[in-house]
């Protein structure tokens, strides 16, 4: 569906020196400064995949998406979206993609929402029958009818995001680009948005590229992730692979019948880097390297010393795993 090979985008700006003399020198002999926003990115996204494209601010995410949309022309490299080169066939590409930007809207601000949908219907040549069918579907999963006659400017953020999703999918695009689709939403609204994205992928087979700083979106929605930093891809794979390589330290938490103290872990014959414990009244927590010792070994060890009422095994939060990748770089399992 989407093929990107050695994609690069450079921006040139002119360095201006301070003062009048500096301005004159810049006018006659300007110094070019080249910024590599995207620096040799390559990836492939299959039909119907939901892929998270993540990275810190300034990493090159938005620049990549703009090249996939045809807004920007690459400096070099190749990109095709469903067989179309976006910057060469912008109109054709626009008819097969949908875009939702969390902080912008494609809807007409002062018009009632239903009139915005009618305008988009005409722009994309959607037939009356398809329009009716899709609006019924959007109402079912996004509850559009409850505010469809309201001017866009009066909608809450959650309502506008649902409306933008519907607008982006009105022409049944092959690819949907979502940029921070849950930004600013409360917990309930976020979950509804995620459910809607999953439902639409299952119904239409839409390929989705999701850029977000909300890693809960990534964990709930994405088949795999692509991480970019300083214009280069630093990781591509599934969340399970990240957890295996970077999330090898788990924690097993025991709720005991009496106050506990940190036990002597030497009997488990593990180095301190792979095993540690903390105690807080009746709660004993043991962090361990899952590749070096089994949960059952730790459980047996604790049960011989304390009366355990309850226990749970905790995975490290995905935010910690991603932070470790950016801090330490990519490593092999």
- 97-101 vs 175-179, strand pairing mode: parallel
pLDDT of amino acid 303: 92
Q: Band the pLDDT of 219: cuts 50, 70, 90.
A: confident
pLDDT of amino acid 180: 81
Mean pLDDT in residue range 67-76: 94
Give yes or no on whether 45-242 and 248-314 have one common fold: no
Looking at per-residue pLDDT, the higher value among 14 and 178 belongs to 178
CA distance 122 to 112: 16
Q: Band the pLDDT of 332: cuts 50, 70, 90.
A: very low
The yes-or-no verdict on residue 26 having pLDDT over 80 is no
Percent of the chain exceeding pLDDT 70 equals 91
Asked if 156 and 168 touch (Cβ cutoff 8 Å), the reply is no
**CATH number assigned to the domain covering 248-314:** 3.30.70
The yes-or-no verdict on residue 20 having pLDDT over 80 is no
Mean pLDDT in residue range 89-108: 87
Mean pLDDT in residue range 37-45: 94
The yes-or-no verdict on residue 306 having pLDDT over 50 is yes
Q: Is 290 helix (H, G, I), strand (E, B) or coil?
A: coil
CA distance 199 to 221: 11
What is the residue-averaged pLDDT of the chain? Answer: 86
Q: What are the sequence ranges of the domains in the chain?
A: 45-242, 248-314
Q: What's the token pair of residue 95?
A: 């008819």
Mean pLDDT in residue range 154-172: 89
b/e per residue 120-135 (b: at least 16 CB within 10 A): bbeebebeeeebeebb
pLDDT of amino acid 333: 41
Structural fold of domain 45-242: Rossmann fold (3.40.50)
Looking at per-residue pLDDT, the higher value among 241 and 129 belongs to 129
Mean pLDDT in residue range 132-154: 90
Other beta carbons less than 10 A from residue 245's beta carbon: 18
């Amino acid at each position: 569906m989407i093929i990107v090979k050695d994609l690069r985008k450079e921006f040139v700006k002119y360095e201006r020196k301070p003062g009048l003399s500096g301005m004159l020198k810049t006018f006659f002999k300007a110094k070019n400064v080249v910024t590599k926003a995207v620096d040799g990115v390559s990836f492939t996204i299959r039909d119907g995949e939901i892929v998270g494209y993540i990275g810190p601010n300034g990493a090159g995410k938005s620049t990549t998406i703009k090249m996939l949309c045809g807004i920007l022309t690459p400096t070099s490299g190749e990109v095709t979206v469903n067989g179309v080169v976006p910057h060469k066939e912008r109109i054709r590409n626009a008819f097969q993609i949908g875009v939702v930007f969390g902080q912008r809207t494609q809807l007409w601000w002062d018009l009632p929402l239903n009139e915005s949908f009618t305008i988009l219907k005409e722009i994309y040549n959607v037939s009356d029958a398809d329009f009716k069918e899709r609006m019924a579907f959007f109402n079912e999963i996004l509850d559009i009818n409850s505010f469809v006659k309201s001017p866009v400017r009066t909608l809450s953020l959650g309502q506008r995001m649902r409306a933008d999703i519907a607008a982006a999918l009105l022409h049944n695009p092959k690819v949907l680009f979502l940029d921070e689709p849950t930004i600013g939403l409360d917990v309930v609204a976020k979950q509804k948005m995620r459910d809607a994205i999953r439902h639409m992928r299952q119904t239409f087979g839409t390929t989705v590229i999701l850029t977000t700083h909300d890693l809960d979106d990534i964990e709930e929605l994405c088949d795999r992730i692509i991480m970019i930093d300083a214009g280069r891809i630093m990781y591509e794979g599934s969340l399970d692979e990240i957890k295996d390589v970077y999330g090898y330290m788990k924690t097993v938490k025991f709720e005991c019948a009496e106050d506990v103290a940190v036990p002597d872990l030497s009997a488990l014959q593990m180095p301190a880097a792979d095993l540690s414990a903390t105690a807080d009244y009746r709660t004993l927590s043991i962090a361990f390297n899952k590749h070096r010792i089994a949960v059952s070994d730790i459980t047996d060890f604790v049960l011989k010393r304390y009366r355990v009422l309850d226990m749970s095994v905790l995975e490290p939060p995905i935010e910690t795993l991603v932070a470790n990748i950016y801090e330490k770089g990519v490593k092999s399992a």
